[in-house]
A and B are shown apart, each in its own frame.
Chain A
Amino acid sequence: MTVSALSHPPRHTLSLIVENRPGVLARVSSCLARRGFNIHSLAVGPTIDPGLSRITVVVESEKIEQVKKQLHKLINVIRIFELEPSKAVERETMLIRVATTPSARTEAIEVANIFKANVVDVGYNSLTFEVTGRPAKLNDLIELLRPFGVVELVKSGRIAIGRAAKSKPARIRAVG
């Protein structure tokens, strides 16, 4: 990670319902690149409707309205929701491999347990954990495991879902 990456424009989580067609992901990423908007993370997958996919993209931009409007112009993009962290459940999954001598394994596992991280692979001199959580929680775990030596790190990209109404809603509308 470079120094300049530490200061970045505000991050916004956008949830896009798109037509499930070849090339749609390329259109979305090309549109963002073309307009100079930086993608922090991106996750794409099917929805309950086989004709639709959902793209969750975290964009760094001072001009989020412009980002949304430009994405809306893509013919295959059907809806866009901006998910505010306070009104959404945001999750990331991480696989992290740390260097551990056999004697240090217990200590690393203790740290991992606090974060409900599971051991998914053990090697002679490494341990691999799987953990799911809020992006901030994952970053905390990385910091605590850093002294062991992080050998490899894989993140899924953020996914998010808006929080449901806590009182009886006037009407319910499911999308995707």
Chain B
Amino acid sequence: MSASRKPTTMTTITGSQSVISSLEHEGVDLIFGIPGGAILPAYDPLYSSPIRHILARHEQGAGHMAAGYAWATGRVGVCVATSGPGATNLVTPLADALMDSVPMVAITGQVPTHAVGNDAFQEAYTVGITMPTTKHNYFVTDPDDIPTVIHQAFHLASSGRPGPVLVDLPKDVLNQETEWRPPQDLELPGYKPTLDGHPRRVREAVEMLAASRRPVLYVGGGIIKSEASEALTRFAEITNIPVVTTLMGRGAIPDSHPLCLGMPGMHGNYTAITSMQKCDVLAAFGVRFDDRVTGDPDHFAVDAKIIHADVDPAEIGKVRAADIPIVADARRVLTQMIEAWGDRPPVAGQQWLETIREWQTKYPLSYDQQPDGPIKPQFVIDELARVTGGDAILVAGVGQHQMWASQFWNFDRPRRWINSGGLGTMGFAVPAAIGAKAGMPDELVYAVDGDGCFQMTFQELIAAAAHQIPVKVAVFNNGAHGMVKQWQKLFYGGRLSASLLNAEMVDYVKLAEGMGCIGLRAESPEEVGPTLEKSLSIDDRPVVVEMVVDPDEMVFPMVPAGGSNDNVILGPEPGD
């Protein structure tokens, strides 16, 4: 520690108070957690702190709430858990946040330092367990380090490629006396993210795009994280280059924009997939060539030259070699690209855009809702868009409902779509929606969830009811792990091994009421709109809307896992 420490006129406090003061210093006003033995000391100063604490019902819920909060607000989400099982229950949300680059700080209690390593009650090697599921983590042994460690944790979580950071605090460290000093030096010699693109690379990229005939911009979560939407839209407009937005990047450019082609990938639309396959230059910003986007990488966009800009150097060249690699923050590099483009004319690719329009006309996303047939899940998304005017933060879990939501909702701006992309964490939607609503109380937050997902984390609705966080959840009840069932029907000869959920057994209306929420149900297409409208009229508590949907509906288009993106399965024609 430096000699510049002020001689102490400060009051002595406990490590716990130092933790809470540090969180306040970072501007935290909302945290999600569950107390327990080792973290108990930190909950005492919290009692008199202005920081609001949401008591989750399972630590996994607390973690996803923090993620939902971070997704919606762009700020660092904070979750708290005790040692042992409390900390291990955070592993899934941490891994989820690492995959999806969500800025998060997790505070965990630990057994006292003298007991560490002795298999003490509720002891787990949290730092070891979370080493591969965090961007970085800390084990604090000296309470004087708390302000610096927490400051570093917030800096690491929110800068460069964002991600989760965990701070493990032994109980004796929380109880010891210390003083709180504002953190000064970050002292992170091994951490210096490159934010500005190399000017020569930027020029090369502009020249390559200017000379291209069939260019596509491939953008994802990095645009959302770096607040690059405006720069992206401007760059697309001055160059007249079409844009595909990945599952993580939905809303990066409005879906209503004529240059936006929507989502590519395994369940992307034909035009988004095929434009990438046929392009001559693929300019990628804030994406990682995920296998759900590329399909078989050896057959992905084989004729394309690749420009790849990402803030994480390890993503560049990981899956696909880049002809022009650019390590940079997405917003900064797009701003540089706009400048370097100057007053060049838009790319002369009228023929390319016409080809794309033809695909869009020929292969639109579609579904067939019969008036007297079962409710089609896609119809629910369309009706939800209609009754809300599209003005909602949409949250999804993982599976069929997630794909339908991403396909059929028109995202008009960033941070209006929250889901678990990389890790594919079922059960994400309910707690993430609660976190989003807690962070953005004036926004309508609507979760769409599958019945399989809902049954993993619905207990967090008790927390939502208790804390008056009026989220709304539409449960797509198809009585199955729908995506598993879809694969079993397509690839396993229809042998539905362990994918059915005993739909007849669960009464979601009663379940909702039993948790202090309102429960509604729609069983036929004409009930969908009115039921959703009714859900919007309730704003004093959470609402669960059970949508009894067609159990046989499948998600299309589809590129089977590991297949070539040249072979898009379009699904049945309407009326089939």
Closest-CB distance, A55 to chain B (whole angstroms)? 13
Residues of chain A contacted by B136 (CB below 8 angstroms) = 74-75
User: Which residues in chain B, 386-416, are within 8 Å of chain A measured between CB atoms?
Assistant: none
Closest-CB distance, A78 to chain B (whole angstroms)? 4
Q: How far is the CA of A150 from the CA of B128 in the complex (A)?
A: 38
Please tell me which stretch of A22-30, A121-129, A160-168 contacts chain B, meaning at least 4 of its Cβ atoms lie within 8 angstroms of it: A22-30
Please tell me which stretch of A40-48, A62-70, A83-91 contacts chain B, meaning at least 4 of its Cβ atoms lie within 8 angstroms of it: A62-70
Q: Is B345 engaged at the interface, CB distance under 8 Å to the other chain?
A: no
Q: Is B313 engaged at the interface, CB distance under 8 Å to the other chain?
A: yes
**CB distance A30 to B139 under 8 Å?**
no
Q: Mark B165-188, 1 if CB is under 8 A from A, else 0.
A: 000000000000000000000001
Residue of B nearest to A52 (CB): B189
Q: Is B156 engaged at the interface, CB distance under 8 Å to the other chain?
A: yes
**CB distance A76 to B131 under 8 Å?**
no
A65-B317, A70-B314, A73-B312 known; A30 and B127 CB under 8 Å? no
Q: Is B534 engaged at the interface, CB distance under 8 Å to the other chain?
A: no
**CB distance B189 to A69 under 8 Å?**
no
**CB distance B131 to A75 under 8 Å?**
no
Q: How far is the CA of A70 from the CA of B156 in the complex (A)?
A: 16
Q: How far is the CA of A19 from the CA of B138 in the complex (A)?
A: 14
Q: Is B47 engaged at the interface, CB distance under 8 Å to the other chain?
A: no
Q: Is B318 engaged at the interface, CB distance under 8 Å to the other chain?
A: yes
**CB distance A22 to B139 under 8 Å?**
yes
Please tell me which one of the listed residues B128, B190, B318 contacts residue A76 in the complex, with CB atoms under 8 A apart.
B190
Residues of chain B contacted by A173 (CB below 8 angstroms) = none
Closest-CB distance, B445 to chain A (whole angstroms)? 33
Please tell me which one of the listed residues A19, A22, A31 contacts residue B189 in the complex, with CB atoms under 8 A apart.
A19
**CB distance B317 to A26 under 8 Å?**
no
**CB distance B131 to A27 under 8 Å?**
yes
A23-B139, A30-B132, A75-B156 known; A69 and B190 CB under 8 Å? no
Residue of A nearest to B163 (CB): A73
**CB distance A74 to B190 under 8 Å?**
yes
**CB distance A75 to B317 under 8 Å?**
no
Q: Is B191 engaged at the interface, CB distance under 8 Å to the other chain?
A: yes
Residue from B188, B189, B313, B317 with most neighbouring chain A CB atoms (10 Å): B189
Residues of chain B contacted by A19 (CB below 8 angstroms) = 189-190
Please tell me which one of the listed residues B132, B188, B314 contacts residue A34 in the complex, with CB atoms under 8 A apart.
B132
User: Which residues in chain A, 72-106, are within 8 Å of chain B measured between CB atoms?
Assistant: 72-78
Residues of chain A contacted by B127 (CB below 8 angstroms) = 23
**CB distance B188 to A75 under 8 Å?**
yes
A19-B190, A30-B132, A78-B189 known; A72 and B313 CB under 8 Å? yes
Q: How far is the CA of A66 from the CA of B317 in the complex (A)?
A: 8
A26-B131, A30-B131, A75-B156 known; A66 and B318 CB under 8 Å? yes
Closest-CB distance, B488 to chain A (whole angstroms)? 29
Q: Mark A8-43, 1 if CB is under 8 A from B, else 0.
A: 000000000011001100110011001000000000
Q: How far is the CA of A22 from the CA of B113 in the complex (A)?
A: 14
Q: How far is the CA of A30 from the CA of B317 in the complex (A)?
A: 22
Residues of chain B contacted by A75 (CB below 8 angstroms) = 135-136, 156, 188, 190-191
Q: How far is the CA of A122 from the CA of B478 in the complex (A)?
A: 77
Residues of chain B contacted by A65 (CB below 8 angstroms) = 317
Residue of B nearest to A31 (CB): B132
Residues of chain A contacted by B139 (CB below 8 angstroms) = 22-23
Closest-CB distance, B282 to chain A (whole angstroms)? 20
**CB distance A69 to B314 under 8 Å?**
yes
Residues of chain B contacted by A27 (CB below 8 angstroms) = 131
Please tell me which one of the listed residues A30, A73, A76, A78 contacts residue B314 in the complex, with CB atoms under 8 A apart.
A73
Q: How far is the CA of A30 from the CA of B135 in the complex (A)?
A: 13
Q: How far is the CA of A65 from the CA of B325 in the complex (A)?
A: 13
Q: How far is the CA of A23 from the CA of B129 in the complex (A)?
A: 12
Residue of B nearest to A78 (CB): B190
Residues of chain B contacted by A77 (CB below 8 angstroms) = 190
Closest-CB distance, B432 to chain A (whole angstroms)? 26
Closest-CB distance, A74 to chain B (whole angstroms)? 7
Residue from B128, B190, B318 with most neighbouring chain A CB atoms (10 Å): B190
Top 8 nearest A-B pairs (CB, nearest first) are A69-B314, A78-B190, A75-B136, A34-B132, A75-B191, A78-B189, A30-B131, A77-B190
25 A-B Cβ contacts within 8 A?
Answer: A18-B190, A19-B189, A19-B190, A22-B139, A26-B128, A27-B131, A30-B131, A30-B132, A31-B132, A65-B317, A66-B317, A69-B313, A69-B314, A69-B318, A72-B313, A73-B312, A74-B136, A74-B190, A75-B135, A75-B136, A75-B156, A75-B188, A75-B191, A76-B190, A78-B190
**What is B's interface to A at a CB cutoff of 8 Å?**
127-128, 131-132, 135-136, 139, 156, 188-191, 312-314, 317-318
Q: A30-B131, A31-B132, A34-B132 are in contact. List 4 more A-B contacts (CB 8 A).
A: A19-B189, A19-B190, A66-B317, A78-B189
